[in-house]
């Protein structure tokens, strides 16, 4: 299988595949005489796993950890569960943040119903007056 076919099978672009290789997530495949990459079923399976992890918003670091753990098939999978639980915690944190954000946005939005001059717009006034809440730093890689 050449890179284009692999990419189609895994629903991603050729560039992304090459990027994963450079990032160390996907093993370097064999090459043809003409220097084209040749992939096997095991590459596709691995790539699918990576794409699924990404679809679940895991970071490359988290995926890397999972892949390392998956290499020792006889070990206890407790560590796998731990990586997973941590990621769920990330998602939870971000969900709470966004929920809080939406409350703030909605309350700001109610301060203006359009038709005012910009000068008198409750939203802009609110944005200028709001007291900045210091965020306690990044606790998740989710934006």
- Residue ranges binding a copy of itself (CB under 8 A): 10-11, 45, 48-49, 51-53, 55-57, 66, 69-70, 72-78, 80-81, 84-85, 87-88, 91-92, 94-95, 98-99, 101-102, 104-106, 108-109, 112-121, 123-124, 127-128, 130, 132-135, 142-143
Using an 8 Å Cβ cutoff, are 24 and 57 in contact? Answer: no
81: burial class by Cβ within 10 Å (0-12, 13-18, 19+)?
A: exposed
Q: Candidates 31-39, 40-48, 82-90, 92-100: pick the segment binding DNA (CB under 7 A).
A: 31-39
- Determine, following the binding rule CB under 7 A, whether residue 134 of this chain makes contact with DNA: no
Q: What are phi and psi of 31, to 5 degrees?
A: -125, 155
Collapse the DSSP code of 123 into the 3-class scheme (helix H, G, I; strand E, B; otherwise coil) and give the result: helix
């Amino acid at each position: 299988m050449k890179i284009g076919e692999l990419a189609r099978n895994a629903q991603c672009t050729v560039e992304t595949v090459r990027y994963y290789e450079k990032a160390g997530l996907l093993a370097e495949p064999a090459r043809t005489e003409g220097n084209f990459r040749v992939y096997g079923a095991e590459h596709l399976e691995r790539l699918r796993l990576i794409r699924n992890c990404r679809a679940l918003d895991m970071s490359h670091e988290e995926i890397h950890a999972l892949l390392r753990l998956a290499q020792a098939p006889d070990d206890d999978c407790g560590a796998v569960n731990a990586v997973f639980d941590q990621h769920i915690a990330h998602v939870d944190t971000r969900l709470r943040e966004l929920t809080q954000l939406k409350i703030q946005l909605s309350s700001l939005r109610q301060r203006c119903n359009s038709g005012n001059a910009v000068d008198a717009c409750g939203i802009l006034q609110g944005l200028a007056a709001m007291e900045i809440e210091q965020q306690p730093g990044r606790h998740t890689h989710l934006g």
